[in-house]
């Protein structure tokens, strides 16, 4: 019985410290969310250096909750406030392995149930994943894809997890639910996932690495730790597989660290015929051609070769270079939210629309790496004729404070507009476009939100959509659009 197996694991796992499960309690399930627990749950709670005190952790996650046992990766000062439940602390480096053992009991994954492909990188993971999914599906592979946009089976959305890479218990639950319904699991693998063991025990057939630029230093603290976390993907690629990479810098850095467990193959952006660019305008961007090259190589490995003009099967990825065109006005919605992503996107637009002026509307998320904010401002300033700085998921920070950090990176004399409310900022952008002569070509970039349909502020996600705001302003001005 499952209950006996869970109790046996609790009793026989080598924990660093424990207060055993009371005899009257019988574990019946495992959970990673406290609000999903019942009286038979074993709650696995991973503690991070996130600035919260143990008292705040208790109030936010444990107070008033029911569970039979709590497993953590470090002792908590609030243990004395949890009477009558089992308490277990894993050794510092054993967290992921302990969670995996319990997952093997509750959500068993037989060898060979799926072939796994993992994609990491600072930018481009989602686009590469969706390109790979479409290529494999066109060749008859049944594909389960897991990433920022959610969970898809054969290209059909199943659910959203709220994560780029879901926690291990949730991932194993998904894999268990979809066993027998897919052959290949293609997934985005974030640095957080690799550092926290969210993909522990997953043997990837091949891996892809898009690029590496500054991001997530609020979590990883320094750039070397961030790179080291991503490099862990290589350790999980099975013998005979390889890591495909579209960044020579990443490949050189991996080589400098010593011999890698699997070969690393560097790819250049795909060279495509004019008909491909005409049919798929998003492939005019060099970074999308690099994403396509990576997806093509991963697909070719899975299919055993024989792939041809796979670009024919690609579709635009939601929130990645969504275009609305009215006369000489092109409005682009994109998820770009790092200095490198903005620099790459705007540079590609400058090259692809050489005669156009560029207007950029953007912000930066709160509760994240503050050091990238002025760098984002500088990246936008390098390429833009008009700059509007606004809010983007301030979370628990003041939007005005975030904007102040961004403005530091914008050189004096460029006179950016500041409109804190994002919907009002987009209206301001359209008014600026409407005020210019109709014969004057403009590309307006609305960056940062992409596919997201909410604003995250003060612990609440309020419905919001850049796409809806663009469409509303097109109607307001009486502009027609070919989107």
Furthest C-alpha separation in the chain: 79
Using DSSP bridges, classify how beta strands 184-188 and 156-159 pair: parallel, antiparallel or unpaired.
Answer: unpaired
- For the chain, helix (H) and strand (E) counts, in that order, are 16, 21
Contact status, residue 206 vs residue 298, Cβ threshold 8 Å: yes
Phi, psi of 188 (to 5 degrees): -75, 140
Q: Give, in order, the Cα–Cα distances in Å from 123 to each of 128, 129, 346, 404.
A: 10, 12, 14, 25
The whole-number average pLDDT for the span 32-53 is 93
Determine contact, residues 446/470, Cβ cutoff 8 Å. Answer: yes
> In terms of DSSP bridges, do strands 357-362 and 143-147 run parallel, antiparallel, or are they unpaired?
unpaired
342/340 Cα distance (integer angstroms): 5
Tell me what pLDDT residue 368 has: 86
Mean pLDDT confidence for 408-414: 94
Q: What are the phi and psi torsion angles at 71 (to 5°)?
A: -115, 125
pLDDT above 80 (res 483): no
Note the pLDDT tens digit of each residue in 217-272. 556 468 888 899 999 999 999 999 999 999 999 999 999 988 788 999 999 999 99
In this structure, which long-range contacts are made by residues 44-51, counting pairs with CB atoms below 8 Å and at least 24 apart in sequence?
44/71, 44/72, 44/99, 44/102, 44/169, 45/70, 45/71, 45/72, 46/72, 46/73, 46/95, 46/196, 47/72, 47/73, 47/74, 47/76, 48/219
Rounded mean pLDDT, 471-482: 93
Beta pairing class for 442-447 and 357-362: parallel
User: pLDDT per residue over 70-105, tens digit each?
Assistant: 999 999 999 999 999 999 999 989 999 999 999 999
Nearest C-alpha neighbor of 201 from the set 99, 318, 54, 76: 99
Share of the chain above pLDDT 90, in %: 86
Nearest to 464 by CA among 409, 413, 425, 430: 425
Annotation: CATH topology of 2-106: 3.40.1390
pLDDT of residue 404 exceeding 50, the answer is yes
Question: Strands 143-147 and 184-188, how do they pair?
Answer: parallel
Q: What is the mean pLDDT of residues 42-48?
A: 95
| Nearby residues of 51 by Cβ (< 8 Å), 6 or more positions away | none
pLDDT, the chain, mean: 94
Task: Give the model's pLDDT for residue 307.
Answer: 65
Q: Which two tokens stand for residue 186?
A: 């293609």
Could you please state the CATH topology (level 3) that the domain comprising 322-477 is classified under: 3.90.190
Q: Are 189 and 120 a contacting pair, CB within 8 Å?
A: yes
Q: How far apart are CA 299 and CA 122, in angstroms?
A: 21
Strands 69-72 and 150-153: unpaired
The 8-class DSSP code of residue 395 comes to B
- State which H helix or E strand residue 101 sits in: helix 95-106
Matching CATH number, 115-313, of 3.40.50.300, 1.25.40.10, 3.40.50.1100, 3.40.1190.10: 3.40.1190.10
- Cβ count within 10 A of residue 385: 12
Q: How many degrees, rounded to 5, is the angle at CA 309 between CA 482 and CA 286?
A: 60
Report, as an integer, the average pLDDT of 190-201. Answer: 95
Q: Which of 175-189, 300-314, 425-439, 458-472 has the weakest average pLDDT? A: 300-314
**Tokens representing residue 387 in the block:** 């700059």
Angle between helix 286-303 and 125-138 (nearest 10): 40
Instruction: Report the C-alpha gap between 33 and 60 in whole angstroms.
Output: 12
Domain positions in the chain are: 2-106, 115-313, 322-477
The whole-model pTM stands at 0.87
Show the tokens assigned to 135. Answer: 């290529």
Write out the DSSP string of 321-353.
Answer: SEEEEETTEEEEEE---SHHHHHHHHHHHHHHS
Cα(61)–Cα(28) distance, integer angstroms: 20
Q: What percent of the chain clears pLDDT 70, i.e. is strictly above it? A: 98
Q: Are 2 and 105 in contact (CB under 8 A)?
A: yes
Mean pLDDT of the region 451-467: 95
């Amino acid at each position: 019985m499952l209950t006996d197996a869970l109790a046996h694991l609790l009793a026989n796992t080598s924990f660093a410290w424990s207060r055993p499960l009371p005899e009257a309690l019988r574990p019946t399930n495992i959970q990673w969310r406290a609000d999903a627990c019942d009286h038979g749950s074993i709650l696995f709670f991973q503690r991070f250096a996130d600035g919260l005190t143990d008292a705040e952790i208790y109030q936010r996650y444990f107070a008033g909750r029911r569970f039979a046992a709590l497993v953590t990766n470090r002792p908590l000062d609030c243990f004395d406030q949890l009477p009558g439940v089992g308490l277990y602390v894993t050794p510092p480096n054993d967290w992921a392995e302990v969670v995996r053992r319990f997952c093997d009991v509750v959500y068993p994954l037989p060898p060979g149930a799926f072939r796994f492909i993992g994609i990491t990188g600072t930018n481009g993971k989602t686009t590469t994943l969706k390109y790979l999914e479409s290529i494999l599906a066109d060749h008859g592979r049944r594909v389960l894809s897991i990433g920022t946009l959610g969970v898809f089976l054969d290209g059909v959305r199943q659910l959203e997890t709220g994560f780029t890479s879901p926690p291990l218990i949730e991932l194993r639950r998904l894999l268990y639910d979809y066993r027998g319904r897919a052959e290949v699991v293609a997934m985005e693998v974030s640095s957080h996932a690799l550092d926290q063991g969210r993909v522990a025990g997953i043997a990837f057939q091949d891996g892809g690495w898009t690029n590496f630029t500054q991001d997530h230093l609020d979590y990883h603290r320094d750039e070397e730790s961030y790179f080291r976390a991503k490099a862990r993907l290589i350790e999980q690629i099975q013998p005979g597989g390889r890591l495909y990479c579209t960044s020579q810098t990443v490949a050189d850095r991996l080589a400098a660290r010593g011999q890698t467990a699997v070969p690393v193959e560097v790819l250049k952006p795909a060279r495509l015929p004019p008909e491909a660019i005409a049919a798929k305008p998003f492939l005019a961007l060099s970074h999308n051609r690099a994403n396509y090259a990576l997806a093509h190589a991963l697909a070719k490995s899975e299919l055993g070769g024989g792939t041809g003009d796979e670009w024919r099967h690609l579709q635009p990825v939601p929130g990645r270079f969504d275009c609305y065109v009215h006369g000489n006005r092109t409005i682009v919605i994109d998820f770009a939210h790092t200095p490198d992503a903005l620099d790459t996107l705007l540079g590609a637009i400058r090259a692809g629309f050489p005669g156009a002026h560029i207007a950029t509307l953007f912000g930066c998320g709160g509760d994240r790496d503050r050091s990238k904010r002025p760098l984002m401002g500088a990246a936008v300033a390098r390429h833009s004729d008009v700059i509007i700085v606004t809010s983007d998921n301030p979370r628990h920070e003041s939007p005005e404070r975030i904007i102040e950090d961004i403005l530091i990176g914008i050189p004096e004399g460029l006179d950016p507009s500041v409109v804190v409310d994002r919907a009002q900022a987009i209206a301001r952008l359209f008014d600026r476009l409407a005020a210019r002569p109709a014969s004057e070509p403009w590309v307006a970039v609305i960056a940062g939100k992409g596919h997201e349909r909410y604003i995250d502020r003060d612990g609440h996600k309020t419905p919001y959509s850049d796409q809806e705001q663009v469409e509303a302003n097109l109607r307001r001005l009486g502009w027609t659009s070919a989107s």
